[in-house]
Structure 1
């Protein structure tokens, strides 16, 4: 029996010491840190458009533009933060700096001065840049390459993201209803403070030397590296100041992201055509197409934080058993469906794999756009049935969110998997960065798409605003359906590039 067990371990490539072991204690710390970081992140996403329109009295168009620019920079910043951690700061220090910048930004949002609010937004962007890319990378360092606990550990870690994204907007939006926006923003800071205290207290004991120093330092001289860190921190604050001045002008952000995106795509193409293996070239082209496609999907998906947020505020009946649910809750409530659906899809893909009926990556991406179109169609149906009152029952919004999350599960985890599968090992990190940059670009595009649902400031009657939103949602429905049809027509071409069959 012992010999058989040893042989099995050798066949599957696992070390005996790694079998039947619990997760590393460091996972709990990083889980807790990520939970509180996402608590603040999604709270701000859910409240931003509402705050800009209700408290700062911006027009819908300006609110969409600023919120889109802010959100886009949030997703672009980890590209820089990840590079700084790799070369200068190290993962552990980067997370510490991220916590500090986050807290400073959230607490500064308590100020009623407009310029202070913009600087607070810039600090949050910088904090996300240092934190988001590096907490996942740090988690990866606590596992050996052949550790069978890795996938389960990352699944547990992902649960922390979803718990934070649910609890944050729900609790903060209730506080916002009773006490106002500024105490709600302060709640984000308090959450980050709790996570920061835990991280600082337990970091040395649980993380030890993992990710303490950069893996590809610009210099091996400790004094030079320390000076570089100080310069980096100072440059971060200066850059945050610059960003705070351009945030009120989304066109500048759009151009900056556009230039960065073009540069990233040119770099990816340069690396692609430099590959010696022809099959690797084809797969990289397929991956670039998938990343470009994801921009389209996320631009529609992010309407949950743009046009759908103000639609919920103005045209959705939010009364539940005598309680009026805060608007912001509906932006992230569908994450609850994600927690329910994810295990089902894991089992579904496994069952289809065994029968060799698992749809190709391209087909899953195309199906994601089908469900995107259906999610807006659900809202259109709710609109059409309630034109007489202008108020749509909330269950239509929840049903649309349920359908939308199916689309997310067909593209988000599948896309991350596709990056690791289609990109050569030496380009996996760069292409993963491009994937997140694409989400940032999608947020900028989504902010512009929301202009279709722009309601003039003098129009506030639900009967008057509902036709405006209904028209916008029909545009989203029909355009998403058209994109889905074209996607299915191009599937054979894409599958040849990705070296896949229609079903695998």
Structure 2
């Protein structure tokens, strides 16, 4: 048992080390800023250039192209940030640097000029890469020798993730829509700064955990695995000249696509001014990147012993399903806000308005009261040791409560209520908090389904959520620019999307740890994050066509695409069950 980590368990909050709750609140403010900014970005960019709170009147295609490139980098840069922390600067320094870069990024976006928008997004991408992978790494180090406590620790930590997303979308969304976009972007930056400061001044709690890493020494241990009935000594699989060539083609073509796609749609700047093999340049480089990466995977996997090869093939199949899941699920950040703004009746009067205000009050205040209770519990245990950190955290909550009270007071003064576009995005976090414990109990019971069934459920529930939107929009004619559809269809969609997420999303990292040998986890972790990154980019690449498809066919047709493809892939997952079971060699 690691004696260094024993000190963490002297001061407990709700049965866990106080340091865990410092990380809880640091992650909460980071997620507050990330989801708060993302909630208003597309609505701001595509908003009319006239009115009380004007936007920039970008096309949906241009706005979602920028969002897709940003979201893709958000999932790629943690690979580099994790390596840098592991080998050079340590986890805690990486978190501080990442938080500082993101603070600068949010502040830049608050200026509301194109130049500062791009500067801000660049800083957010770099900061996220430093921050995201290293928070969980600190928890892992903190709980060394206390493996029985890890599951509970991560559950608490991810409650912080969802609490931050919930509060960030609620407050940044409301302030951005009702007060001004700059204030919404600026609010995200303020809480990122406060989160960074409360973490910096709590360093005494962490001892040497997350410090600059020591140089690694020692012999390379041979790894022996079973290949059928025989013991086989694993051979190293070094990268060859062909591997590096394919990596080079993949990286260059992927970067050309990632940058060319938004530049061609926002500024009409193209890498090449002619088609290649009959394909637009962006699509050509995207396909070239995909082909080169598939070839790299096939060539490398073929060199492993059968057991390892089979398990990595199974994980690769799961990654393919992951791409298409996120390509549909992430419509929540792109096309769904457009649908909510233009095609949903959000004006409420009389009893309906009062009913919404009461619901909004409950879902706003109750989670905040619970988190405030956690905050006070942390204060009681740690104020003598990290008083300044606690004071900064307390100021953060005073600001939150002040904004919430102002928001509720303002809403209750009006007789007519317009539900903010961004309000519906909080439903995902709310439903996760409500249903995650039930799914955890299900996975821990004897009725825990196999991987293929979980992926089927995740994809099918996701598709069913879009089916509600398609059904609700069935009478909207082709070419319509607006409609007054019921908000209930959105609520049902977010509910089933969240249920699908709870079935599928946690599975990726779980099966990564079970199927992949320790020496190759870094490479396959990169593959998994690449799958999510591609899914995010694909989501907004396709979602940018919502207006085009609605004009040429119908709005219902757009959502039917995201109904049939996930459900169809879910059925494929079920049919692959015998193959996947054989490839996984006993892993459940």
Closer/same/farther in 2, CA of residues 384 and 469 from structure 1, 3 Å limit? closer
| In 2, Cα distance between equivalents of 1:349 and 1:315 | 38
Equivalent residues in 2 for 1:29-428, closer than 5 Å: 29-54=22-47, 55-203=55-203, 205-214=204-213, 248-249=263-264, 272-276=301-305, 278-320=306-348, 321=353, 322-351=416-445, 353=446, 357-384=447-474, 390-428=483-521
Quote how far apart the aligned CAs of 1:183 are. Answer: 0.7
Quote how far apart the aligned CAs of 1:488 are. Answer: 2.3
Quote how far apart the aligned CAs of 1:281 are. Answer: 1.7
Q: Is the partner of 1:323 in helix, strand or coil?
A: strand
| In 2, Cα distance between equivalents of 1:271 and 1:214 | 30
> Which residue of 543, 564, 567 corresponds with 1:478?
564
Closer/same/farther in 2, CA of residues 67 and 360 from structure 1, 3 Å limit? same
Closer/same/farther in 2, CA of residues 163 and 264 from structure 1, 3 Å limit? farther
| In 2, Cα distance between equivalents of 1:256 and 1:397 | 35
Task: After superposition, give the CA deviation of every residue in 1:399-441 in whole Å (9 maximum; x if it has no partner).
Answer: 1111111111111112221111111122223322322222111
Is the contact made by 2:39 and 2:422 (CA closer than 8 Å) also made in structure 1? yes
| In 2, Cα distance between equivalents of 1:61 and 1:258 | 20
Query: Which has the higher mean CA deviation after the structures are superposed, 364-373 or 291-300?
Result: 364-373
Is the contact made by 2:61 and 2:545 (CA closer than 8 Å) also made in structure 1? no
| In 1, Cα distance between equivalents of 2:288 and 2:259 | 19
| In 1, Cα distance between equivalents of 2:21 and 2:293 | 35
| In 2, Cα distance between equivalents of 1:191 and 1:333 | 22
| In 2, Cα distance between equivalents of 1:378 and 1:38 | 29
| In 1, Cα distance between equivalents of 2:567 and 2:160 | 33
| In 1, Cα distance between equivalents of 2:11 and 2:151 | 14
Task: After superposition, give the CA deviation of every residue in 1:19-75 in whole Å (9 maximum; x if it has no partner).
Answer: 997322211111111000000111122112112111221111111111111111111
Quote how far apart the aligned CAs of 1:147 are. Answer: 3.3
Partner residue of 1:225? none
| In 2, Cα distance between equivalents of 1:446 and 1:64 | 9
Task: After superposition, give the CA deviation of every residue in 1:137-183 in whole Å (9 maximum; x if it has no partner).
Answer: 11211111443211111110010000001000110111112221111
| In 2, Cα distance between equivalents of 1:136 and 1:216 | 22
Q: Is the partner of 2:444 in helix, strand or coil?
A: helix
Query: Which has the higher mean CA deviation after the structures are superposed, 328-337 or 388-397?
Result: 388-397
Task: After superposition, give the CA deviation of every residue in 1:291-336 in whole Å (9 maximum; x if it has no partner).
Answer: 1210011000001111111000111122351422211221232221
Closer/same/farther in 2, CA of residues 168 and 275 from structure 1, 3 Å limit? same
Higher helix fraction (1 or 2): 1
Is the contact made by 1:261 and 1:437 (CA closer than 8 Å) also made in structure 2? no
Partner residue of 1:438? 531
| In 1, Cα distance between equivalents of 2:528 and 2:347 | 39
Is the contact made by 1:115 and 1:244 (CA closer than 8 Å) also made in structure 2? no
| In 1, Cα distance between equivalents of 2:285 and 2:171 | 35
TM-score, structure 1 normalization:
0.82
Is the contact made by 1:334 and 1:398 (CA closer than 8 Å) also made in structure 2? no
Partner residue of 2:244? none
| In 1, Cα distance between equivalents of 2:288 and 2:91 | 28
Q: Is the partner of 1:335 in helix, strand or coil?
A: helix
| In 1, Cα distance between equivalents of 2:110 and 2:314 | 46
Partner residue of 1:232? none
Alignment of 1:488 with 2:574, yes or no, is yes
Quote how far apart the aligned CAs of 1:487 are. Answer: 2.7
| In 2, Cα distance between equivalents of 1:176 and 1:150 | 38
Is the contact made by 1:176 and 1:183 (CA closer than 8 Å) also made in structure 2? yes
TM-score, structure 2 normalization:
0.71
| In 2, Cα distance between equivalents of 1:422 and 1:98 | 31
Is the contact made by 1:45 and 1:71 (CA closer than 8 Å) also made in structure 2? no
Task: After superposition, give the CA deviation of every residue in 1:106-164 in whole Å (9 maximum; x if it has no partner).
Answer: 01112132112111110011110110011111121111144321111111001000000
Task: After superposition, give the CA deviation of every residue in 1:418-473 in whole Å (9 maximum; x if it has no partner).
Answer: 111111122223322322222111111111111331259xxxxxxx8797322201
Is the contact made by 2:65 and 2:261 (CA closer than 8 Å) also made in structure 1? no
| In 2, Cα distance between equivalents of 1:385 and 1:196 | 49
| 5+ long unaligned stretches in structure 2 | 48-54, 218-257, 272-281, 354-415
| In 2, Cα distance between equivalents of 1:366 and 1:325 | 34
| In 2, Cα distance between equivalents of 1:279 and 1:326 | 53
Is the contact made by 1:368 and 1:408 (CA closer than 8 Å) also made in structure 2? yes
RMSD: 3.1
